[in-house]
Structure 1
Amino acid sequence: MKLAVISCIHGNAEALDAVLADIDTQRAEEIYCLGDLVGYGPYPNEVVEKIRSLAIPSCQGCWDEDIVDGLNACECSYPSQLAEYRGRLAHEWTDREIHPEVREYLATLPLTLKKDNLCFVHGSPNSQHEYLLPSMDGFAALERVLSADADVLFCGHTHVPYERKLENAALSVKVGTAESGDRAQQLQEQQFQVPLKRVINAGSVGEPRHGRPNATYVIYNTDTAEVTFREVTYNYEKTCQAIVEKGLPPIFAWRLAKGMEFAERADDPSHVCER
């Protein structure tokens, strides 16, 4: 069976429509979404309604959570006061724009989805806000997959697609045992060989940061375990124009056109996130 995994649409209806059309050409039988349906982009209601109308199972992303619960989660990934300020403006705009029924839908989204040996999350099994970067310590990455009780962990949040294989991993556990008539504890070491685990990041449909404006997503074949990264062109200029016309920070249009993150670095090294 072919599965399509999409993530981080961020109110970009043009990109979502292009990706859904491409998914049709790949003949995927099921689609899973890893959240962040809203935020940054100009069409949050349209994106949510499309996901709902197609009954696509979706996780709750960090932006989805913040629109439901308010700015209650620390986003210390903001590298500067200016970047945090723009993020706050985007949240306030989206919060005003969103329809009540859309907000209610976002509140119902689960943190994780499971299908057989596959697990789908936004950031990590621990939090929508945790970044599973490809450079993450191998044991920590393995722990995230094991904690999800899965062989393959699909995530988003970073907006950069990648596949990471965690193989030839051996875990060592020391277990204390008391000998008969002796209260002293003897530590016995037990070795466990962990089978192949994988972390697959689907990238971003609506705000890619891999250096090009093209939308990205993943096709996964459950029969062969084959992973195919898809990159889809679309009329990103139309979305950029809508970002500016609707009053969102123009820098969002610039970085969408470039397919990259943009944030001033160290404008205030002592800055501590207000949240």
Structure 2
Amino acid sequence: MRIAVLSDIHGNIIALDAVLADIAMRGIDRIVNLGDILSGPLFPCETADRLMALDLPTIRGNHERQLLTRTPEEMGLSDRHADSVLQPRHRDWIAGLPEQLWLADDLLMVHGSPNGDLVYFLETIEGDGVRPATTGEVEARAGGVAPPLILCGHTHVPRVHHRAGGGLIVNPGSVGLPAYDDDHPVPHKVETGSPHACYAIVEKGASGWTAEIVELDYDWESAARVADARGRADWARALRTGTV
């Protein structure tokens, strides 16, 4: 069983289509989506329509939750743009997405961590950036949840973590946004330093689960020009450079 893992697409259908084409060439058995799907200045509606047609196992991220629960005045710029263009069919779709999903007895899908969609699972904020989380920090955030494989997103940082007691936690990185800044719980930035689209392939064999991170070239300049045209120079820089 080989599964392609997508996360944090953020309305970047240009990157998504490149990833889907790569997946198709690899003969993957299944694709899953870990949330933060639409928010951003790019193509929320087009991205939603593409994914709704594919009907993938999908969970909501914090941005889907925010789109459903906040007023436009309470939203940041990325959520506000998505909120202004999404149609009722898109809202119905994200409203039906679960917060977490057991894809099988040995595979749990979460957005942040088992403890919440805003929790950084495999990274820890330090200074104005992030560092890899320690084993102790990861286990504390897991809250005793210990299936052989946990898939998580949210931080946009691709990482494969081997648990001390066995098992993997895999963050596939971001399909559509390789860097961002945030003020929760304190101001910080997350940068991959690369403009590539990222996803992961996990595979179950006789000895358990293994994982591979895939980084792809795509036309990030076209995506960045759209961000520039919509007044989001911060997004344009992140898309072109993987930095903020």
Structure 1 runs of 4+ aligned residues shifted over 3 Å read 143-149
Counterpart of 1:122 in structure 2 is 111
**Per the alignment, in what secondary structure is the counterpart of residue 119 of structure 1?**
strand
Tell me the TM-score normalized by structure 1.
Answer: 0.75
CA distance, structure 1, for counterparts of residue 105 and residue 19 of structure 2 = 25
CA distance, structure 2, for counterparts of residue 117 and residue 145 of structure 1 = 15
Q: Counterpart of 2:166 in structure 1: which amino acid?
A: L
CA distance, structure 2, for counterparts of residue 238 and residue 35 of structure 1 = 23
User: Out of 158, 170, 184, which is 1:200 matched to?
Assistant: 170
CA distance, structure 1, for counterparts of residue 67 and residue 178 of structure 2 = 21
Q: Counterpart of 2:217 in structure 1: which amino acid?
A: T
The count of corresponding residues between Structure 1 and Structure 2 is 220
Would the aligned equivalents of 1:90 and 1:249 in 2 still touch at CA under 8 Å?
Answer: no
Cα deviations by residue, 1:52-111 (Å, 9 ceiling, x for unpaired):
101111110111111111169xxxxxxxxxxxx9x7222222211111211121111111
Taking the TM superposition and a 5 Å limit, the aligned residue runs for 1:85-164 are: 88-114=76-102, 115-134=104-123, 135-145=132-142, 147-164=144-161
- Alignment identity in percent? 31
Would the aligned equivalents of 2:122 and 2:161 in 1 still touch at CA under 8 Å?
Answer: no
Tell me the TM-score normalized by structure 2.
Answer: 0.84
Taking the TM superposition and a 5 Å limit, the aligned residue runs for 1:10-89 are: 10-70=10-70, 88-89=76-77
Counterpart of 1:218 in structure 2 is 200
| Alignment pair present for 1:228 and 2:217 | no
Q: Counterpart of 1:165 in structure 2: which amino acid?
A: H
Structure 1 residue ranges without an equivalent (≥5): 73-84, 168-194, 263-275
Q: 1:146 Cα shift?
A: 5.8
Structure 2 residue ranges without an equivalent (≥5): 124-131, 180-191
User: Out of 216, 238, 244, which is 1:255 matched to?
Assistant: 238
Cα deviations by residue, 1:100-128 (Å, 9 ceiling, x for unpaired):
21112111111111123111111111111
Cα deviations by residue, 1:162-202 (Å, 9 ceiling, x for unpaired):
111112xxxxxxxxxxxxxxxxxxxxxxxxxxx40321111
Counterpart of 1:238 in structure 2 is 222
Q: 1:248 Cα shift?
A: 4.0
Q: 1:39 Cα shift?
A: 1.3
CA distance, structure 1, for counterparts of residue 158 and residue 239 of structure 2 = 16
Q: 1:147 Cα shift?
A: 3.9
CA distance, structure 1, for counterparts of residue 197 and residue 218 of structure 2 = 8
Q: Counterpart of 2:212 in structure 1: which amino acid?
A: T
Report the CA distance shift for 1:257/1:240 in structure 2 as closer, same or farther (over 3 A). same
Report the CA distance shift for 1:146/1:113 in structure 2 as closer, same or farther (over 3 A). same
Which has the bigger relative contact order, CA under 8 A and spacing at least 6?
1
Would the aligned equivalents of 2:114 and 2:143 in 1 still touch at CA under 8 Å?
Answer: no
CA distance, structure 2, for counterparts of residue 6 and residue 62 of structure 1 = 15
Q: Counterpart of 1:207 in structure 2: which amino acid?
A: L
